[in-house]
Amino acid sequence: MKKLIPYLLLAVLFVIALGVRQCRNSEALESDNPSVTKSAPKSKSTDDIRSNLDVFRDPESDYFFTKHARCRMECRKITQKEVKEIVRKADVNYNKSELDAAQGPKYAVEGYTSKDRQHIRVIVAPKQRHLSIVTVIDLDKDWECPSCK
């Protein structure tokens, strides 16, 4: 009987190793399968950064328009009211956003103005006391704005 114990332990370890391997393979298959939707856990800092913009979507928020943003808005005939409307209501394009920028997160907010249906992107940077409007881009028309460079 004492001679069988090492063989039994080896058999048990072998079964455990097979089980672990099977679990790893099924997890790898699930991650490769696009029909399986699995939400990856987000880091706390990313959640904080993404929710940071929502605080400033309040209509009472203070907006600071940079000199560059004001120049681009004038050139592209976009009003402050239109920019504020886009910031409050439009969708964030996370592909064009810089959530880990050195000076703090920058969001690309895109939508259509209600006045003349311009398709615009507003780059915004939430700060402690205000929402900074970095630039405003017309996505459908290429405007010549030489003085804004």
Structure confidence by residue, pLDDT tens digits, 111-122: 999 888 999 999
Rounded to 5 degrees, φ, ψ at 134 are: -80, -50
Contact between 138 and 116 under an 8 Å Cβ cutoff? The reply is no
49 and 29 housed in the same domain: no
Whether pLDDT at 20 is above 70: no
The answer to whether residues 61 and 29 belong to one domain is no
Owning domain of residue 3: 1-38
Q: How many domains are contained in the chain? A: 2
- Taking only the tens place, the pLDDT of each residue in 23-32 is 665 554 444 4
pTM: 0.63
pLDDT at 35: 38
Structural domain contains residue 149: no
Cα separation of 37 and 144, whole Å?
Answer: 44
Q: Are 67 and 135 in contact (CB under 8 A)?
A: no
- Does 61 lie in the same domain as 34? no
Helix 80-89, helix 67-75: angle, nearest 10: 110
- Whether residues 49 and 28 share a domain: the answer is no
